[in-house]
Amino acid sequence: MGLVQVTQEKEESLREYMSRLNKATLGIKNLQMPLVVTALLIGLRNHTFRASLSKKLPESMIELLRRLEDYNDPEEVMKATKMIELYMKEVVGIDDAKKPQ
């Protein structure tokens, strides 16, 4: 399945969708942020978050996560943070100490 085919289901939380999208990115070598944003713009059901993304595109997964905080509850953000930190460490090779602020 292609990344842009991963869409948010009707009853799926934003966190659950982001988790599925993240899993879909794991096998993509040299993943570019514009592809992730395009997939989000196509697959998101949250129109407010989609509008926010389209106004100013995030430049990294970290920035995307920070912006997601405004559209999610704190518990979901914590889980998403851990998921993206794991992705950054295992796939991208960046650990917490090296993350851009």
**Within-domain flag for 64:** yes
- The total number of residues shown for the chain amounts to 101
Helices marked H in 1-99: 14-25, 33-43, 47-55, 61-68, 74-87
Domain contains 96: no
Distance of CA 74 to the CA centre of its chain: 16
Q: Is residue 55 part of a domain?
A: yes
Is the residue at 61 inside a domain?
yes
Q: Quick check: is 3 in a domain?
A: no
Residue 98 has pLDDT above 70, yes or no: no
Residues 81-90: tens digit of each pLDDT: 777 788 778 8
The answer to whether residue 98 sits within a structural domain is no
Considering its fold, how many domains does the chain have in total?
1
Instruction: Identify which has the larger pLDDT, 98 or 77.
Output: 77
The domain in which residue 53 lies consists of 14-23+31-91
* Whole-number average pLDDT of the chain: 79
- Give the tens place of pLDDT for each residue, 34-76: 888 889 889 988 888 888 888 888 888 788 878 877 776 566 6
pTM of the model: 0.61
Query: How much is the pLDDT for 96?
Result: 58
